[in-house]
Structure 1
Amino acid sequence: MYLYNFNIYMEKLGAGHTRSINIINARVIRENDLSLVTLPNGDIPMKDNFGYGLYYHDCRFLSGYTLTINGKYLTEILIGAQSGFDSIVILTNPDMEDNNGNYINKETLSIGRDIAIPGCVVETITIRNFNMAKVALDLTLNFKSDFNDIFTIRGLTEGVDGKILPIRYDAGDHTLYIPYMGKDGHFRTTKIEFDPPPSKVEKGSCTFSVRLDPRGVQKIMLAIFAQDLPPGKPAVEPRMLGTKETLEGIEKSYHVPYRRHFDFLTDNNLFNKIILRSLSDLRMLYMSLDGSKFHSAGVPWYDALFGRDCILAAIQIMPYHSGSAPGTIKLLAGYQGRAYDDWRDEEPGKILHELRLGEKANLNKIPQTPYYGTVDATPLFLILLAEYVDWTGNLKLLEKIMPNIDAAIAWIDRYSRRDGSEFTSYLPRSARGLSNQGWKDSWDAVMHSDGTLAKPPVALAEVQGYVYMAKKRLAMLYDRMGRGGDGEKLRKDAERLKRAFNDRFWMDDKKFFAMALDDLGVCNVISSNPGHCLWSGIVDEKYAKFLADRLFEPDMYSGWGIRTLSSNELRYNPLGYHIGTVWPHDNSIIAMGLHKYGFYDRLSDLFTGMYDAASVFPLYRLPELFSGFERGKYNIPVKYPVACSPQAWSAGTIPYMLIAALGLTPDALNKRLTLVKPHLPPWLNNIKITDLRVGSASVNMEFRREESGTLVNVVKKYGDLDVFIEY
């Protein structure tokens, strides 16, 4: 009953993700837990603001913020490249009159907006007069705060539960206060400090007198604070952190973490820009909780701890920077399921799907407190552990959380395999949870070829691969830690699962693997899901080429990337969230699988499509997803209107594809690095890598593409490390 009611509920809400119409042109800056999503000109629309706003802890502290001069909106003429925590916009004026009735020609004023987030939003507005005469103007900043929870903005819950209190301006400290008393007892305030003070304040409208001589310059500075005071906590006056030293420290942090592991340079300047954007976005998405760092899933909808997303982002970025992995592991272990709770789809040993900190969560109106409706986060958690050890050789963290590891295995064996089945499946129980619980978690994401939606319990193809991979890799770690008997059991379980998977999921008539098995039988559609099975290694060699070739047929490969669903299927929609769009992270996992099975040319094709797509997206930033329209029909990838951008696992796509192309295979415990069949794509001829770390050692290498293949030169090693090259 819950599932049926939930599906009706989700259909009414528009596929269960967001009813916001369009954030295609959004500009995002972010630092720590504070995110600002604006139009290209730096404004937040006062009406029809969709997902635009200033966010902190799942609450929108600013839902409107506009700049006008004498009531006129301005035209943006420069939108500066972002480092992640700041942006630069230059605007100019239309034809207008000043306060004295003097005519001002268009494009004779420049208005610069320098915005950064060093603990709060700091903006410096610089007005310059290029007229031959003096001008007298009014610059007005309008502010509005709706304090909506992110779930309300997404259209999944009703509006605010508390009370927005009257706006107050304190002339003594030049500060505007917009307060909100939440029903959860939290006192939230949007606080805006001005320098100089406005000449006039009317509710949320602040007007500044601008008097400029020819070539004159005037500056207006403001700082916007998002304050969230839980009940019983003493008020703490927020600090202005917008000093030069603070900003320089943040800027430095964008470069130091990744350079601590390895630096690289290629002969392709465009590719260098794309991958540096990816690394910058991953730094931008850093969050901290309970003293641990992890990657936010994406802005604005998923700016939170998501099990699956932060795990895969940590895996993708591991060779570049393993720093997010320990925090991710510790947090997920700390929030691991302990009880059997229908509301949250929780079971003992299960890894969470999503944790929210806003008013709806505090009032228990949503189950994300945390919510455990994910079938794949638990095996992926174990894979992350193994990946972390392979790169770092650090077993101490595993030793500390061994009870959590055992509990995760127990969840797979006891709770995920229903009615004696060999396969891990999901059966939703929560009245407000997800009806589909793989990475394709929209209500219509899993189906049969006649269009019938899957009926739980549902065993997804890729999830069987994750379980296989987790048990195989964990078995080796158990051996290393003196638990050989447990390791042998895991190996046998994995091999038994592999046999069952290839027997039951293979569709001989389609020469492809089923998307899933459900209560009705076989979900016999052609989808991207089995592509992940190449990554996990669960596919029998005899089926691998069929699978790889089918993924590149025109109905699956758009020219930019592999679609989530074949264009031949009844439910295909190139703009459907999981039913025909292209997801970069999906393609990155498939790319690594193609390398593992020896399909190097296919890997290059896929890498090339993603590289080409990234090259034409703004800021070279791959979004959460884009449409599945064929490349030949349009010259650029068609955007998805409400995609998160940046999104962590999309930012990890190009870096992870590069690791696949280089064939980097670490084994830090045995002090080995193997380069398995490195295969650079045709647009990348030379790469120099400095200080690639494996365990406590590091290595410098050069890769060179020639007609005969990709050649490797090991330039220098530091520490005890054997490097093997397989051509």
Structure 2
Amino acid sequence: MQEVIQIEDQYYILATSDRGADRTRVLKEGETFAIFDCHGDIQPLGLGEQGIFHEGTRFLSKLELRFAGIRPLLLGSTINKQNEFLSVDLMNPDFMADDLQIRRDSIHIYRTKFIWKGKCFEQLRMTNFSLEPLSIPFTIQFAADFADIFEVRGNKRKKRGRLMPVVPEASAVNLSYQGLDGQARTTRLDFSPTPLKVGKDEVHYRVSLEPKESVCIQITVSCECRECERFSGTFEEAFQEAAVNIADLKAGYCEITTDNEHFNLLLSRSQSDLLMMTSKTPHGIYPYAGVPWFSTTFGRDGIITALEVLWVNPGIARGVLSFLAKTQATAIDAEKDAEPGKIIHETRLGEMAALGEIPFGFYYGSVDSTPLFIVLAGAYYRRTGDREFIAGIWENILAALKWIDTYGDADGDGFVEYARHSHHGLLQQGWKDSNDSVFHADGTLAEAPIALCEVQGYVYDAKNSAAILALVMGEESMAARLRKEAEALQQKFNEVFWCDDISFYALALDGQKRPCRVRSSNVGHCLFSGIADFSRAGIIADQLLSEPFYSGWGVRTIANTEKRYNPMSYHNGSIWPHDNALVACGIARYGFTSHAILILEGIFNASLAMDLHRLPELYCGFKRREDLSPILYPMACAPQAWAAASVYLLLQSCMGLEIDAGNRRLRFTYPVLPPFLNEVEIKKLSVGDSRVDIMLRRYQNDVSVNVLRKEGPVEVIITK
């Protein structure tokens, strides 16, 4: 009898096995992503998350290449540097065909796959490297379960839709599902050349090859639903269009190279991950959060990703702001945790979202997305000087400010709190949204309404940013009022949240206004926003880089001395690259750049041990051990947008780089470089409508900044 696992957190990602048992390969484009094993197959292994997914539904749950039922042998497997396609090299196993023994290493199999407009294109090339003519039989097995992504995550449904009869054709097969939401979803597999036989769950081929002769077989998996965009071109045409799309997205980035090839690989992979995760929406481009669990628009994730890469590519911020303005809540809807002016937490497509089985179709249960929306708007204006765009979203900014003062601060105590209103929404609504992430020193969980320390910082930053934007919009009295409100909040925050007994700000205030005296990385975000008192910044910075926090691979989410510390937990002791980037930026803001350098070193060294040099969503918080790699977190998303973007903010923090587009100024304040970098070259950096190329070089303990080229007027200021 199978054991029933009871989990209090209904959106906990169930793990009865681990993803690390067999490294997976990820492709994504638009609303479609695919997870394959290293062979290029789709199998029910690990967490069972392999498959081809489209709009929140798994359209293919099995795809296996077999020779006489035996799996081919793996030679090599990788995603190319640009994340454009999966490349897999295989060879045949030892197997019998027509009473003839086919020895291994006779046939080389080369599989390439990519995704474009709801289709997965695969080319399978077989080459005979033996000295004899060979007749090779093989099969391609397939299945489609049409599982919602939340079912794959572990959510159980009382009832599902109906799988329709499989419809084979001469060179294709259709697998269909009639959902409870009234939507028909179809997976069509097309094969070229025509197979010997097309069955309901496999196709049969036999290829005859002379020595050194090759044959190519193409497999196209189409995800068809509603009014999905159709693409009818060939493999080659699709690949060309996909390459043009990537080049178009890449054009928005400046170019960064260093004298450290490993760091260059990290930069290259991070950019490629961001390009892959960025989708074009009707309201502009948007970096989807992460594969597999969060391949959709998340408010907080999109904003922080945009902030991290703002100096490198401000176009992402524009797309994020546009999308969030268009989806801003305009009415109260308790089941969606929506209130007028509130910025969205996440959107979901798929059957369960359409039926309301999960609340995340359009869900607003995050307390920080709204102030961070204003923070990003202010940062975008400073970066670009784009007044016209700000004017276009000004009413959204005003609505967000009103939400902060009314619904955000429902009890009028001056702090923004959250409490879940939805029956099925998130219990915790900060960035650490696990049920057990907010607690007191004795480990007891805090009760709502909860005022998180970093959220007060975001609100402080939002009001200061809105004050600047108000001046831009000619609202001088509003600007003065917002500055006063920010000053009052800063003063009250430093009085109420500071805990002398731990020499740290409290993680949060609970519903009874009792401080949670827990040392957490959230406090680093208070440095990022500037709400922390300058006299306390050094104390905080020293603690964040001390042994209880700093593992050698980065800063833990909570200190290892806390009651609920667990280096294997999602939020209570793990290491998140984006969290580290915000902490490092905050520390550098207060002048402690040497501390920021240590954080960059830890994250960089961790990336050296990661598959494909890819920074995952998070990894475990165990102490760094000599000659050993960081311990992976088995359910982490990889790629994850804000993890990929973290390297840019970390580098910016160390360089002390600021861009004031309105005044065409580029400033470097106390620039430093980590020990592993002697040169950093930045090309095509936009400053307003001007461009500049910059070279930073280390000379012992000093860093020089040289202007290599300028297009248009740019003032470069170096403060040392």
Scaled to the shorter chain, the TM-score interval is: over 0.9
Q: 1:87-106 alignment to 2 at 5 Å? A: 87-97=86-96, 99-106=97-104
Q: Distance in 2 between matches of 1:545 and 1:702?
A: 30
Query: Distance between the aligned counterparts of 1:443 and 1:241, measured in 2?
Result: 47
Choose the corresponding residue for 2:406, options 402, 414, 418.
414
Correspondence for 1:21: 17
Closer, same or farther: CA 700–468 of 1 in aligned 2, 3 Å:
same
- Give the corresponding residue for 2:70: 72
Calculate the aligned-residue CA RMSD, in Å: 1.9
CA distance in 2, matches of 1:195, 1:15: 41
* TM-aligned CA deviation for residue 455 of structure 1: 0.5
Cα distance in 2 for residues equivalent to 1:624 and 1:607:
16
Instruction: Classify 1:166/1:519 alpha carbon distance in 2 versus 1 (closer, same or farther; 3 Å).
Output: same
Q: Kindly state the Cα deviation for residue 253 of structure 1 after the two structures are TM-superposed.
A: 4.2
Aligned to 2:38: 40
How much has 1:569 moved relative to structure 2? 1.4
Q: For residues 243 and 674 of structure 1, do their structure 2 counterparts lie closer, same or farther at Cα, with a shift above 3 Å needed? A: same
What's the offset of the Cα at 1:635? Answer: 1.0
Q: Distance in 2 between matches of 1:201 and 1:246?
A: 25
| Structure 2 residue 85 is matched with structure 1 residue 117 | no
Match of 1:240 among 208, 214, 232: 232
Say if 1:496 and 1:575 are closer, same or farther in 2 by CA, change over 3 A. Answer: same
Is residue 391 from structure 1 mapped to residue 383 from structure 2 by the alignment?
Answer: yes
CA contact (8 A) 2:378 2:469 kept: yes
Note the 1:563-582 alignment, pairs <5 A.
563-582=556-575
**Of 203-212 and 632-641, the range deviating more from structure 2:** 632-641
SS at match of 1:338: coil
Deviations 1:403-428 (A, max 9, x none): 11100000001111132211111011
1:712: Cα distance to partner?
0.8
Q: Distance in 1 between matches of 2:645 and 2:46?
A: 32
1:403 and 2:401 equivalent? Answer: no
Contact preservation (8 Å) 1:20, 1:154: no
**Aligned counterpart for 1:637 among listed residues 605, 630, 633:** 630
Aligned partner of 2:668 in structure 1 is 675
Shift of 1:262: 2.0
2:216 equivalent in structure 1: 219
Instruction: Using the TM superposition, give the Cα deviation of residue 20 of structure 1 relative to its aligned residue in structure 2, in angstroms.
Output: 6.3
Q: Please tell me whether residue 181 in structure 1 is matched to residue 178 in structure 2.
A: yes
Structure 1 position 601 matched with structure 2 position 597: no
2:315 is the alignment partner of 1:323? yes
Q: Would the alpha carbon gap of residues 359 and 244 (structure 1) be closer, same or farther in structure 2, given more than 3 Å must change?
A: same
Q: For residues 634 and 707 of structure 1, do their structure 2 counterparts lie closer, same or farther at Cα, with a shift above 3 Å needed?
A: closer
Q: CA deviation at 1:634?
A: 6.4
**C-alpha displacement of 1:136:** 2.5
| Structure 1 residue 19: Cα displacement | 3.9
**Contact 1:621 1:651 (C-alpha < 8 Å) held by counterparts:** yes
Tell me, in whole angstroms, the C-alpha distance in 1 between the residues paired with 2:248 and 2:422.
Answer: 43
Q: Report the residue type matching 1:168 in the other structure.
A: V
Q: Is the 8 A contact 2:11 2:155 kept in 1?
A: no
The residue correspondences of 1:144-223 to structure 2 (distance < 5 A) are: 144-158=143-157, 161-171=160-170, 174-223=171-220
What is the 5 A alignment of 1:687-702? 687-702=680-695
Q: TM-score, normalised by structure 1?
A: 0.95
The CA distance in 1 between the partners of 2:701 and 2:627, in whole Å, is: 35
What residue identity is the alignment partner of 1:11? Answer: I
Residues 15 and 178 of structure 1: is their aligned pair in 2 closer, same or farther, counting only changes over 3 Å? closer
Higher deviation after alignment, 714-723 or 685-694? 714-723
SS for the counterpart of 2:583 is helix
- Aligned letter for 1:368? F
**Offset of residue 196 of structure 1:** 1.0
Distance in 1 (CA, whole Å) between partners of 2:195 and 2:244 is 34
Q: Are 1:502 and 2:494 matched, yes or no?
A: yes
Aligned equivalents of 2:252, 2:578: Cα separation in 1: 24
Q: Is the 8 A contact 1:118 1:241 kept in 2?
A: no
State yes or no: 1:483 paired with 2:480.
Answer: no
Structure 1 residue 540: Cα displacement? 0.5
Q: Do the aligned residues in 2 keep the contact of 1:55 with 1:62 (CA within 8 Å)?
A: yes
What is the DSSP-based 3-state SS (H/G/I as helix, E as strand, rest coil) of the residue aligned with 1:80?
strand
What is aligned with 2:515?
Answer: 522
CA deviation string 1:367-409 (max 9, x = no partner): 1121110000001111111111111110111111211110000
Shift of 1:260: 4.3
My pick for the range that moved more, 294-303 or 315-324, is 315-324
**How far apart are residue 705 of structure 1 and its match?**
0.9
Q: Deviation of residue 254 (structure 1)?
A: 3.5
**One-letter amino acid of the structure 1 residue matched with residue 177 of structure 2:** Y
In 2, Cα distance between equivalents of 1:697 and 1:658: 22
**In the alignment, is the contact (CA less than 8 A) between 1:46 and 1:66 conserved in 2?**
no
**Counterpart-to-counterpart distance in 2, 1:331 and 1:597:** 33
Residue 18 of structure 1 and its aligned partner are, at CA, apart by: 4.1
Residue 654 (structure 1) aligned with residue 647 (structure 2): yes
Is 1:539 matched with 2:535? no
Is 1:263 matched up with 2:255?
yes
Give the match for residue 610 of structure 1: 603
For residues 566 and 281 of structure 1, what CA distance do their matches in structure 2 show? 30
Distance in 1 between residues matched to 2:258 and 2:159, nearest whole Å: 51
SS at match of 1:666: strand
| Partners of 1:268 and 1:48 in 2: CA distance | 35
* Alignment partners' CA distance in 1, 2:47 and 2:427: 29
Code of the residue aligned with 1:567 in structure 2: it is N
- The answer to whether 1:308 aligns with 2:300 is yes
Deviates more, 1:17-26 or 1:161-170: 17-26
Counterpart-to-counterpart distance in 1, 2:559 and 2:156: 33
Q: Give the count of matched residue pairs.
A: 712
Q: Secondary structure at the match of 2:469?
A: helix
Give 1:94 deviation, angstroms: 2.4
Question: AA paired with 1:601?
Answer: S
The aligned counterpart of 2:130 is 131
Cα shift at 1:189: 0.4
Name stretches of at least 5 consecutive residues in structure 2 with no aligned partner.
Answer: none
> One-letter code of the match for 1:618?
D
Q: Given residue 309 of structure 1, which amino acid in structure 2 is its aligned partner?
A: D
Q: Secondary structure at the match of 1:210?
A: strand
CA contact (8 A) 1:20 1:153 kept: no
Confirm whether residue 277 of structure 1 aligns to residue 269 of structure 2: yes
State the alpha-carbon separation in 1 of the partners of residues 535 and 122 from structure 2.
60
Amino acid at match of 1:323: G
8 Å Cα contact 2:270-2:645 kept in structure 1: yes
Question: Which stretch has the larger CA shift, 306-315 or 263-272?
Answer: 263-272
Bigger Cα displacement from structure 2, 195-204 vs 273-282: 195-204
CA gap of 1:627–1:525, structure 2 versus 1, over 3 A, is same
Q: What CA distance in whole angstroms lies between the structure 1 residues aligned with 2:417 and 2:631?
A: 34
Distance 2:58 2:435 in 1: 26
Aligned to 1:11: 7
Letter in 1 for 2:526: C
Shift of 1:107: 2.3
TM-score (structure 2 length as normaliser): 0.96
The one-character-per-residue Cα deviations of 1:318-371 (angstroms, maximum 9, x if unpaired) are 222222222211111111111111101111100010101111111122211211
Alignment counterpart, residue 57 of structure 2, candidates 49, 56, 59:
59
| Counterpart secondary structure, 1:323 | helix
SS state at 1:444 partner = coil
Please tell me whether the aligned partners of residues 184 and 362 of structure 1 are also in contact (alpha carbons under 8 angstroms): yes
Whole-angstrom distance in 2 between the partners of 1:318 and 1:573: 33
Contact 2:172 2:198 in 1 (8 A): no
Q: What amino acid sits opposite 2:329 in the alignment?
A: G
Q: Which amino acid aligns with 1:653?
A: S
Structure 2 counterparts to residues 421-500 of structure 1, below 5 A: 421-500=413-492
